[in-house]
A = this chain, B = another copy of it.
Amino acid sequence: MNNDSNPMMPISDLPTANESERPAVSQAVIKRLPRYFRYLRELLRQGKMRISSGELSALMNVTASQIRQDLNCFGGFGQQGYGYNVNYLYAKICEILGVGAGLTAIVIGVGDLGRALVRSSMFEKRGVDIIGLFDIAPNIVNTQFGSLTVAHMDTLADFCKQNQVDFAVLTLPKNAVVEVSEQLMDLGVRGLWNFTGAELPFRDDSMIVENVHLGDSLMTLNYKLCADREVHMPEQD
């Protein structure tokens, strides 16, 4: 296959390493990998097949030494001075992060935010297959999104018994979240991507939860703007 002519190969065609050789990667590196994933993906999109740590450093605003340290654990860089093989690194990072692992998800709550997520390319880009949409609102149930029809929550249990569901995206109203998430756990769903702001009742490893608190990000921006304002405002008498 000529990679240059096809920089955005489907995920299934990416070269993958032997599973038994899956490298051990520290938690700190894991946390930084999604960012590498984004940049490498963009480089592939641009058809760039090799990049030096210096170039990547300038692009990502991270020291070249940090980059070398982070990417060292994957091995197989190619020669000094020749740079990284973008496609190889991308495939390695995909493998480690579980892109191409065939994860499946359902979305619970197809209001504004649920709809925005379903319609984005976010899941597809990361190899996640959205296989079901659920809501209770009469004006939402039975509406169509691409090849999927929004089903009623009453059918959730049957759906989860008939399909392998790895995780649920929670974009339903906050007051229903605890009940629904406990139901999902009982149905064998292993993970929750929680946008509701509700605190979920799982403190052990009975459920893998990733919370998104957009409001916290907004607060950080607020704080920086107020601090900036104090610096730039003329002194008052």
Would you give the 0/1 interface string for A127-149, flagging 1 where the beta carbon is closer than 8 Å to chain B? 11000000000000000000000
- Taking CB atoms, residues of chain B closer than 8 Å to A120 are 112-113
With A112-B112, A116-B113 as contacts: A122 and B218 at CB distance below 8 Å: yes
Who on chain B is nearest to A39 by CB? B199
- Taking CB atoms, residues of chain B closer than 8 Å to A217 are 193, 210, 212
- Taking CB atoms, residues of chain B closer than 8 Å to A190 are 225, 228-229
Interface stretch, picked from A68-76, A78-86, A91-99, is: A91-99
Q: A193, B218: Cβ atoms under 8 Å? A: yes
Question: Which residue of B112, B213, B218, B229 is within 8 Å of A119 (Cβ)?
Answer: B112
With A61-B203, A113-B116 as contacts: A126 and B193 at CB distance below 8 Å: no
Does residue A35 face the partner (Cβ distance < 8 Å to B)? yes
Min distance, Cβ A44 to any Cβ of chain B, angstroms: 15
- Taking CB atoms, residues of chain B closer than 8 Å to A98 are 219, 222-223, 225-226
Q: Interface residue count for A (Cβ, 8 Å)?
A: 55
Would you give the 0/1 interface string for A29-58, flagging 1 where the beta carbon is closer than 8 Å to chain B? 011011101100000000000000000000
- Taking CB atoms, residues of chain B closer than 8 Å to A226 are 97-98, 101, 103
A205 to B227, CA, bound (A): 12
Q: B38, A215: Cβ atoms under 8 Å? A: yes
- Taking CB atoms, residues of chain B closer than 8 Å to A223 are 30, 33, 96-98
- Taking CB atoms, residues of chain B closer than 8 Å to A123 are 218
- Taking CB atoms, residues of chain B closer than 8 Å to A197 are 38
Chain A residues within 8 Å of B, Cβ to Cβ: 30-31, 33-35, 37-38, 61, 96-99, 101, 103, 111-113, 115-117, 119-120, 122-123, 125-128, 166-167, 190-191, 193, 197, 203, 205, 208, 210, 212-226, 228-229
